[in-house]
Amino acid sequence: MSPFNYIFLWLTIILVWMSAGSGGFAPPGRFRESSALVGNRLYFFGSQNTAQQRDNIYLDVTLSTLNTTNPSWFMSNSIPADFLLASSCVGGPNKNTIYLLNHLTTSNGDSNDTIVYAFDTVATSWSTPNISGQIPPSWQQFQAVNDTNGKIYMFGGDKYPIVDKFIKLNDIYILDTLILAWIQGSNVNALTPRVDFTATLLNNGLILYIGGIADVGTIYVSEIPTYNTNNNSWSTMFATGDTLNSRYSHTAVLSPDGHVIIYGGVINGSTDQSQVLASLDTTVNPYKWSIKPIIGNNLPPSLAWEVL
């Protein structure tokens, strides 16, 4: 499958979010949810909407049977705690466990430490694993991404310790799901603290952090901080190509041939659609941006805080 067929498949999934599913199950619209793909099931967890904060639903994305007119939505076991402004990643020895990194307890109190809830997608059961090491402080609006070796990399976000003041963070913590241990990564030369950015892991072990909001304002997407998972170090890539507006609350996905596709987000305070889809070619040095116009009669809506 070509990289752009690949991304349009996922955009199609977004656009059928409100469609009636098999058996009449149609999930209501939501935002600031989290997602994780295990096999042919794309799971969605939580929402900013109060009534959906414990939702655990999934979409069958088997290519041979995917019906965008009547998508197959299913409800699974509810999350043990409200889940919003948090992340979900796949890990474990068999890569069939989804780990939810959350700041809320089962009684919905704000925890002092990050809480991990594990969902076994085979047994469809939840647990709270006992994890050793230095547990990260409780925070929200961070981004987490997993590699193929059972490690989850959690970065950024903010704390809300006193009224009307957020404290943004730039610490990176690593959860090894094979041995269930937390490790704190280096923040030497790390990017400035921020929220509402994207984290994308390349096949070479580099994590790209694109866009977002810092205390100084929105972040230029041409200036891309990278974390090297191979040697625990930071660097910055200055991308060339088309000039993109700064943005936050967008989404990003890696195509099979090394392009990072970003979609949507908030630009200049609004969900501006003029640069809704862009591609970052990471196979060249420096990386190169190109804006991809979307043409046709079925244009996607302007979106922010969505998932790909």
Query: Using one digit for the tens of pLDDT, what is the confidence trace for 113-130?
Result: 888 999 999 999 999 999
Indicate if the pLDDT at residue 162 is higher than 50: no
Distance CA 136, CA 143 (A): 13
Indicate if the pLDDT at residue 170 is higher than 80: yes
Confidence band of 23 (pLDDT split at 50, 70, 90): very low
pLDDT at residue 20, rounded to an integer: 46
Confidence band of 153 (pLDDT split at 50, 70, 90): very high
Indicate if the pLDDT at residue 274 is higher than 60: no
Average pLDDT over residues 232-239: 97
Average pLDDT over residues 17-43: 71
Indicate if the pLDDT at residue 60 is higher than 70: yes
Domain with CATH 2.120.10.80 in the chain: 1-185, 189-303
What is the pTM for the complete model shown?
A: 0.86
Mean residue pLDDT of the chain comes to: 82
Say if CB 172 and CB 185 are below 8 A apart.
Answer: yes
Q: In the chain, pLDDT over 90 holds for what percent of residues?
A: 42
Residues whose CB is less than 8 angstroms from the CB of residue 101 and which lie 6 or more positions away in sequence, other chains included: 86, 87, 88, 89, 114, 115, 116, 142, 144, 152, 154, 175
pLDDT at residue 66, rounded to an integer: 81
Indicate if the pLDDT at residue 222 is higher than 60: yes
Out of 3.40.50.150, 1.10.10.10, 2.120.10.80, 1.25.40.10, the CATH code matching 189-303 is 2.120.10.80
Say if CB 74 and CB 58 are below 8 A apart.
Answer: yes
Average pLDDT over residues 91-99: 97
65 or 211: whose pLDDT is higher?
Answer: 211
67 or 4: whose pLDDT is higher?
Answer: 67
Task: Please give the CATH topology (third level) of the domain spanning 1-185.
Answer: Neuraminidase (2.120.10)
| Choice among 146-160, 179-193, 250-264, 272-286 with the minimum mean pLDDT | 272-286
Q: Per the structure block, which two tokens stand in for 127? A: 């647990």
Confidence band of 52 (pLDDT split at 50, 70, 90): low
